Each structure stands twice: as C-alpha cells, then as structure tokens.
Amino acid sequence: MHSKIEHLLRYTGTNAISTVVDYTLLLTLTHFFGMPALQSAFAYAVAVVVNYGLTKKYVFVQDMSHKSEHRLFMEFIGTGFIGLVLTAAVVWLTVHVMKMPAVEGKTIAVLLCFVMLYFVRRHIVFNENPANSSAA
C-alpha cells in the first residue's frame, strides 16, 4: 500500500509542476499577445513535453525496454492530444454553455484529465515489460 501512495504522490507532483508550466505560459502569453485559444494550445503542448520528462523519470520507472524511446514518446504525446481534446471540450462546455469563468472551466478540465490520463498512461503507455511479468 505504501508504494501505491508514493506512486500517486509522484504522479500528483509531476502533474502539479506541468500544470504550473501550463498556466504560467497561458497567462503570460495571453497577457502579452492575446489570442487565448492559441496560447492555451501552445502552453498545453509545452506542459505535455515537461510532463513526459518528469513522468518517465519519477513516476513510471519500471523496465520499458520492450518499447523504443520514440514509441514511448509518441504514445505519451498521443494521450496528451486526447487530453487536449478533452480539455477543449470541457472548457467550451463550461464557458459557453454553463457560463462559468474560463479559469474554473480549465480547472475542471485539468482535474478530469488528471484522472483519465493516469489510467490510460499506466495501462497503455507505461505498461510493464511482458517478459518481466511472465518470469515470476
């Protein structure tokens, strides 16, 4: 049980750092250049790359030798794209339909993506090497 709690804390920490990168870039770029939709996509993309590095190093550290570095990165980016689509849909729904402030909609989207992407990345992207699990 202890390792599961530590794993969840590591995942939460890496995502918190990535979220700070996302929000900081979004707010800074929007302040200077406007175009919040474009700045939001750019900030999210940068945060996904930061999140990949942190997640690979601190969260999912098991043997990934059954996947090339390129494949691992592309799977992570693919799940990031799913997160981007989900984020855009939730922000649109909360802002344009429910008439909520954009920051509240973005926060709801971040929380939904946090949970959804954890399970997708745990079971698809960073799944354990099957050769190691059959050796037991």
Residues in the chain: 136
Residue 119 neighbours by CB distance under 10 Å: 9
Instruction: Give me the pLDDT at residue 1, please.
Output: 53
- Average pLDDT score over the chain: 86
How far is residue 55's CA from residue 40's CA, in Å, rounded to a whole number?
A: 21
* 13 within 8 A of 58, measured Cβ to Cβ: yes
* 25 within 8 A of 42, measured Cβ to Cβ: yes
Torsion on CA atoms 124, 129, 131, 132, rounded to nearest 10:
-130
Rounded to the nearest 5 percent, the helix, strand and coil shares of the chain are: 85, 0, 15
Instruction: Give me the pLDDT at residue 40, please.
Output: 80
Instruction: Give me the pLDDT at residue 134, please.
Output: 53
Question: Digits of tens for pLDDT over the chain (136 positions)?
Answer: 568 899 889 999 999 999 999 989 988 998 898 887 778 888 888 999 999 999 989 998 776 768 888 999 999 999 999 998 888 888 889 888 999 887 788 889 889 999 999 999 988 898 877 766 554 4
pTM as predicted: 0.79
Any residues with CB less than 8 A from the CB of 84 and at least 6 apart, and which? 41, 44, 45, 48
Instruction: Give me the pLDDT at residue 9, please.
Output: 93
Instruction: Give me the pLDDT at residue 120, please.
Output: 92
> What distance separates the 2 farthest-apart alpha carbons in the chain?
56
* 23 within 8 A of 110, measured Cβ to Cβ: no
